[in-house]
Structure 1
């Protein structure tokens, strides 16, 4: 079972509110707050598609570049010891640290 919907490269995590008896979601990975809701799965899918389409249309109307979910650049900090171990593992594998880290992250998210 998946609680994620995807449309036109955008994704949203789906949740259920028992108090209001609705399904709801928000487009993930962008700073603009774009949410949607419905009381059926089919209605929620339609509401999600409409939310993405409206977001893209609104951006065009106001001359704003729509935010893309992710750029592909990841910046994070690790301990110097972990950095050393990762760099060494990458070198021994004959890869750049970026190549090695991308493969490690890909394995971790599967």
Structure 2
């Protein structure tokens, strides 16, 4: 189960805080931080919208992009034996190691969404 909530193309990661008996959402991929709190799903949705609307309004006011630009690049460190095995599979399939890793990540994300 993914602890996320989506609104207007934006996704927030939701975590429960037992000390305050409330949920906290943190909107992902923004060019800055925006979070919100709620005791139940209805409250979370309402506060998500309010927080996102406020963040977008402030970005427009200050001439800033709302979303953080994504480069599409990241470094993956693997144990040597896993790296070698992945390289061998990629070569055997006639694809790049990058293409194999992209396929693996897509597979994991599709499993997580199910």
Provide the C-alpha distance between the structure 1 equivalents of 2:77 and 2:67, rounded to a whole number of angstroms. Answer: 25
Contact 1:10 1:69 in 2 (8 A): no
Number of corresponding residues:
110
SS at match of 2:24: strand
Structure 1 pair 80–22 and aligned structure 2 pair: CA distance change class (3 A):
closer
Structure 2 gaps of 5+ residues are none
Normalised TM-score (structure 1): 0.77
Identify unmatched segments of 5+ residues in structure 1. none
2:61 maps to 1:61: yes
Structure-2 residue corresponding to 1:49: 49
- State the alpha-carbon separation in 1 of the partners of residues 101 and 43 from structure 2: 39
SS at match of 2:6: strand
TM-score where L is the length of structure 2: 0.75
Give the aligned partner of residue 72 of structure 1.
72
